Structure 1
Amino acid sequence: MTPSVTPRPVTVAAVHAAPVWLDADATADKAVALIAEAAAAGAQAVVFPESFMPGFPAWASLAPPIRTHDFFRAFAAASVRVDGPQVARIRQAARRHRVLVSLGISESTEVSVGCLWNSNLLIGPDGALLNHHRKLVPTYWEKLVWAPGDGAGLRVSQTEFGRVGMLICGENTNPLARYALMAQGEELHFASFPAIWPTRPPGETHAYDIEEAIRVRCAAHAFEAKCFVVVASNVLDEAAMRHLATLGPEAERVVAGTPRAVSLVIGPDGRQIGQSQREEGILLATIDLRDCVEPKQFHDVVGYYQRPDVFQLQVNRTALQAAGFGDARPRQAPPDPDWQDVA
């Protein structure tokens, strides 16, 4: 990977928005419109929240799994394939508007009707898929919905805007995952989050405040990596809240009283740049990756402030499969005069 110093400022857009709840096609339409809006405002990179398509499965925190089968079936049906038509439309929009796009999806697979991953895609301004990352470990009650990912997406992508890495929600608190990106020269980091993340009923001691957690973990990564961090979080709209409320009055109370997430941009000194985005909309910030250089004079944790003779990290970036099959083609039936091979 060649050295990267961006000779000009870059405008990034954090999309703080609600998906069209459990409707992947309509959410793809909304994402295309948001990309166009951000590009028209001057954005060169557009960052979407975690599991933006088709929404975030917060019901797993609100009721026992024996009561959420219908929710899971609907979520699995609305989840998308990386090579599917919804993602293709986002890739076309990225190419049309010449912008870098980071997109959170719930990913399905042809090898299982019930296996899903919490994934993030990085799409280049030419529409090419630059990186496909599956969240390494679903966090807490997310394990009831998503399978663990692999290390194939722990990559920093060289773009015309600099070296870009991305992690999903709680991964931004994983020291080894973060260091794996730092050690690839990450300059611009995309962090995606849900709208809410309930851990206790509202008002109880130690209830989780997602906005506070975002600020702590993302400022820590920016400060340690000496990079810029763009945070994009979901919004929980009325349609999603109505759907979650069908789990009962207690679920409705938890949703109403749980702190909401925030979208923001943090500089390589760990300080926030500009305002926070709490209402649905697009947050724009102009940054200069040359500002990543000076702080590394003071404290470069992958350069002179590292001791590779003492500490070593090995990262397995193998893309894992459910099974490996040795045969190149399936066994074929005898030729049929009415059958035509169109493969």
Structure 2
Amino acid sequence: MPYNLNPSNSDTRVFKVAAVQAEPVWLDLQGSVQKTIDIIQEASKEGAKIIGFPELFIPGYPWTPWANNFLECQSVLSQYNANSLPLHSPEMARICDAVMEAGATVVLGFSERDGGSLYISQVTITSDGKIANHRRKIKPTHYEKTVFADGSAQSIYNVVQTEHGRVGSLNCWEHIQPFLKCHFYAQHPQIFVGGWWPAFPPFTGGSPYIVSGEASSRMTQLVAMEGGCFALVGCQVVSEAGAKKMKMTGFPWFKFPGGGFSTIYGPDGSHLTEPVDPGVEAILYAEISLDKIAEVKIVADMMGN
């Protein structure tokens, strides 16, 4: 059947998008929900119509198992479980109400508690305050597998229609899963949020380049170019106090404060924002129009001709 994009990739209307670089309220569900609402309200006052949050912003990304042995992790992981966010909960309802009041579309990353399992989840909440998409990271990465379960089949459907275009979402190393990406592009995303962990400068303490903030950002940049879509990079900041609470201090890959690398990419892979200090909280904004997608797809379109 014919597929009609509305608005189309040639739509010239200009609107503002926002990428969040912020420190979570570590291991604190209620504090995390309030900070999420505060950020939504701030971005909305600046005119943002699409707002992208980091991976696992509620209640923070648990680097803890990477940096410690099992016994040293337990107190943190116990609190982590207790402060994760069920999909159907009063806390999620508060966030949805805030999104509706803001009149924006929000992609939020959170640790979802469902029964006896945790998931690396994302929701896309549209301007009417409804959850238009709920998905779970298909395959957790490395030590994430000791904390989080695999996503379910429905999670490959990660693009939704909004009044400002088709909005998609990916979590972290889903950016380098080729078959998932191909299915993603086939859903015609026009804007997407890449939700990311806090990651640090390349080769810090002997870390592989692939886990650095620079490499992570480039993964999102590549998806923007492959898919011909705008990309919002949302990621976390870790302060010295946050690192201490999450038992991250002393691990050679990390440098505090740091972890941030948020940016916004155009569909040709260009930077649409200025660099931000990796240790500073910020909301990055860009004014975009979908007709830039058509300009790129005339040159390169992997899903069309």
Question: TM over 0.5: same fold?
Answer: yes
Q: Aligned AA for 1:17?
A: A
TM-score, normalising length: structure 2: 0.91
Deviation for aligned residue 1:273? 1.0
Check if 1:250 corresponds to 2:253. no
Q: Does 1:108 align with 2:107?
A: no
Secondary structure of 2:58's aligned partner: coil
Structure 1: how far apart are the matches of 2:271 and 2:36?
A: 26
The aligned amino acid for 2:173 is G
Q: Secondary structure at the match of 1:74?
A: helix
Q: What corresponds to 2:226 in structure 1?
A: 224
Query: How many angstroms does 1:209 deviate by?
Result: 4.9
The CA distance in 1 between the partners of 2:86 and 2:207, in whole Å, is 40
Kindly indicate whether the alpha-carbon contact (under 8 Å) linking 1:211 and 1:259 is maintained by their aligned counterparts in 2: no
Question: Do the aligned residues in 2 keep the contact of 1:48 with 1:102 (CA within 8 Å)?
Answer: yes
Equivalent positions of 1:186-335 (< 5 A) are: 186-196=189-199, 202-204=204-206, 206=208, 208-245=210-247, 250-251=250-251, 253-256=252-255, 260-277=259-276, 278=278, 279-304=280-305
Which residue of 22, 38, 60 maps to 1:33?
38
CA shift, 1:207, in A, is: 5.0
Check conservation: 1:241, 1:255, Cα contact below 8 A: no
Distance 1:140 1:234 in 2: 19
2:126 counterpart of 1:127: no
SS across alignment from 2:78: helix
Change in 2 beyond 3 A, CA 1:276/1:86: farther
> What is the aligned length?
297
Shift of 1:254: 4.3
Which residue is 1:76 aligned to? 81
Which residue, out of 64, 69, 72, partners 2:69? 64
Matches of 1:211 and 1:272, distance apart in 2: 15
Instruction: Rate the CA distance shift 1:72–1:3 in 2: closer, same or farther, 3 A.
Output: same
Report % sequence identity: 31
CA root-mean-square deviation: 2.1
- Give the CA deviation at 1:73: 1.0
Q: CA deviation at 1:238?
A: 3.4
| Pairwise CA distance, 1:259 | 6.7
Q: Which residue of 2 aligns with 1:337?
A: none
**Contact 1:47–1:232 (Cα < 8 Å) also in 2:** yes
Q: Greater shift after overlay, 178-187 or 211-220? A: 211-220
The whole-number CA distance in structure 1 between the counterparts of 2:43 and 2:271 is 20
Task: Say which SS state the counterpart of residue 80 (structure 1) adopts.
Answer: coil
Shift in CA distance, 276/209, structure 1 to aligned 2, threshold 3 Å = farther
Distance, in Å, in 2 between the alignment partners of 1:90 and 1:235 is 21
Higher relative contact order (Cα pairs below 8 Å, separated by 6+ residues) = 2
Q: After superposition, what is the alpha-carbon deviation per residue over 1:83-104, rounded to whole angstroms, capped at 9, x for unaligned?
A: 1122111100010110101100
Separation in 1 of the partners of 2:84 and 2:207? Answer: 35
- Tell me by how many angstroms 1:161 deviates: 0.8
Contact 1:58 1:196 in 2 (8 A): no
Q: Unpaired segments of 5 or more residues in structure 1? A: 305-343
Task: Give the residue type in structure 2 aligned to 1:235.
Answer: V
Could you tell me whether the CA contact under 8 Å between 1:106 and 1:116 is conserved in 2?
yes
Task: Quote the offset at 1:116 in angstroms.
Answer: 0.3
Q: How does 1:137-148 map to 2 (within 5 A)?
A: 137-148=139-150
Contact kept, 8 Å, 2:96 with 2:129, in 1: the verdict is: yes
Is 2:84 aligned against 1:85?
no
Is the Cα–Cα contact under 8 Å of residues 210 and 261 in structure 1 kept in the other structure?
no
Secondary structure of 2:79's partner?
Answer: helix
SS class of match (2:108): strand
Q: TM-score, normalised by structure 1?
A: 0.81
What is the Cα deviation at residue 199 of structure 1? 11
Corresponding residue SS for 1:35:
helix
1:169 partner amino acid: C
**Cα separation, partners in 2 of 1:157 and 1:241, compared to 1, 3 Å:** same
Which consecutive residues of structure 2, in runs of 5 or more, have no partner in the other structure? none
**Secondary structure of 2:189's partner?**
coil
